[in-house]
Structure 1
Amino acid sequence: MDWQEISGNWVLMPRNPVGIIHFLGGAFVATVPHLTYRWLLEELASKGYVIIATPFVNILDHSAIAKSVLLNFERALERLHDSSAMRKRYLPIYGLGHSMGCKLHLLIGSLFRIERAGNILISFNNYAARDAIPLIEQFDLAAVEFTPSPLETNKLVQERYNIRRNLLIKFSNDTLDQSMVLTELLKQRFPEMVTAQTLTGTHTTPLGQDIKWQMGESFTPFDALGQWFKQEVYRDLNQLKRIILLWLNPLAYPIIN
């Protein structure tokens, strides 16, 4: 199973797909999501989920980005439906976002009429431009703001967001996370349909990659340190993967261990 570029998206197509995941990454790592989030996305694909990861470049107009990534996603979806792998098959579509990618999925679900089985929102943040863009105040650009602003985004979600089933994930050591406010907004809109989880990890946990540790002919203390480090990294990553898979299909993954 190899990555392929389709209509401006990076796509993984498993042999017998059970669902589709539209992935949007964080602001400064979203240009190459098939590389920056490779481990997590390939793990989800190995369980039967078609991955459509849409790159984007961060600009101030987040509504325009949301419209653009949705258009690219739908173009890829149309191409896939024309292929033999997905022809005449209904597959549920889930949104998966990390950091700024969460905001884009929220805007897509608020501004456009789409069909989604649910959204998974990891490490949501909704900062103002002055807090999100380094050095902006030093260049006398204090009046510059994202569109929509943080307050406008919250209002849109509160009044127009139409994706009923949502999983919000925050990490225990993440100072950038703003999931708590979003959780309350969504629970007011869709009671009993919102799940919130706090996992061990940091804001960059979803970016963890496979560490190829090559031992020498004899096992050394350095090898032991390397294996310990790999286990620590993968503990948080595997926990994230298991929570996502459990939420996507509780019957297929009834036990988290």
Structure 2
Amino acid sequence: MEWKEISGNWVLIPHHKPSGIIHFLGGAFVATAPQITYRLLLEAIAEKGYIIIATPFINTFDHDAIAKQVLLNFERALVRLEERGILGNGYIPIYGIGHSMGCKLHLLISSHFDVERAGNIFMSFNNFAAREAVPLMEQFNAMFAKNQFASILANNPLANRIFPNSPTNASANPAFALEFTPSPAQTNDLIREYYNVRRNLLIKFSNDNIDQSLGLSNILSEKFPEMNTLQVLAGNHITPLGQDVKWQIGQDFNPLDAIGQWVRQEMYRDLNQVKRTILLWLNPLSPP
């Protein structure tokens, strides 16, 4: 299998007939190259017969706009795959998988748009306000409160995309503070009212102090009782980013080689548990 760029997505196609399609969205600062940053996990899923469509994105404060764009790119990739005859004529289930900010984007997609998903998987969900997600936001807020950048933003169209809530017109709130669109509270309200995917898997890592999966699990369980699963696994917030560590064994095996292999196994243990959990949830009748 080789990664291919299709309509702004990185796509991995299994050698045999696909059993499902995965739309993958990564975390805020590693989402620009998911075929590299999440390679081990995504290739392991593809080996089990799933088409991987990983959509890169650049983070801004307008998460609604990002969700709309990544969905558009994903659907363009589907059209291209269909035109090539890769999808065949039968039904192929589509699943969303998100990590960190990618979870929020999948939640927005399934709340704003009429999409068909067999299920969604959320790893390390968080829904912080801007000032909590990025420590520098407090400094930005203070500067905006003093109107130091108001004139710059007013004359810069690009700034309106990056700072969608900026005070660039007469009706703006003078007590402006940077915030994501939608805000954490607005996001939760959207999920409660409009989120339409009944089957969901939430993965929380035991050593992740910025995870907010429990709150999301409560909201989804209120909407779809008995259709949501929360799994607590060993690892931390960056466990899904497990990278391939090469350890070249010398001609004569020595204690240092043994230590190197042990370190490699420890690094992969948590990631392998994530892989097994995802694959078993995708197809309970076909253990990974």
- Category of TM-score, reference length = shorter chain: over 0.9
> Could you tell me how far apart the structure 2 residues matched to 1:12 and 1:167 are?
22
1:1-257 matches, within 5 Å, as 1-15=1-15, 16-139=17-140, 140=142, 141=144, 143-253=177-287
> Could you tell me how far apart the structure 1 residues matched to 2:67 and 2:76 are?
14
> Could you tell me how far apart the structure 2 residues matched to 1:222 and 1:127 are?
43
Q: How many residues align?
A: 254
- In the TM superposition, residue 221 of structure 1 has moved relative to its aligned partner by 2.2
- Corresponding residue SS for 1:169: strand
What amino acid is the match of 1:10? W
> Could you tell me how far apart the structure 2 residues matched to 1:53 and 1:134 are?
28
- In the TM superposition, residue 134 of structure 1 has moved relative to its aligned partner by 3.2
What amino acid is the match of 2:139? Q
> Could you tell me how far apart the structure 2 residues matched to 1:53 and 1:5 are?
10
What CA RMSD, in Å, does the superposition of the two structures yield over aligned residues? 1.1
- Corresponding residue SS for 1:5: strand
- In the TM superposition, residue 133 of structure 1 has moved relative to its aligned partner by 1.8
Indicate if the aligned counterparts of 1:94 and 1:119 stay in contact, CA closer than 8 A.
yes
Report % sequence identity.
67
What is the TM-score normalised by the length of structure 1? 0.97
- Corresponding residue SS for 2:206: strand
> Could you tell me how far apart the structure 1 residues matched to 2:94 and 2:85 are?
18
- In the TM superposition, residue 84 of structure 1 has moved relative to its aligned partner by 2.4
In the alignment, structure 2 segments of 5+ residues that lack a partner are 145-175
- Corresponding residue SS for 1:244: helix
Indicate if the aligned counterparts of 1:60 and 1:146 stay in contact, CA closer than 8 A.
yes
In the alignment, structure 1 segments of 5+ residues that lack a partner are none
Deviations 1:190-234 (A, max 9, x none): 001000000000000000012111110122222122111111111
- In the TM superposition, residue 23 of structure 1 has moved relative to its aligned partner by 0.0
What amino acid is the match of 1:11? V
Larger radius of gyration: 2
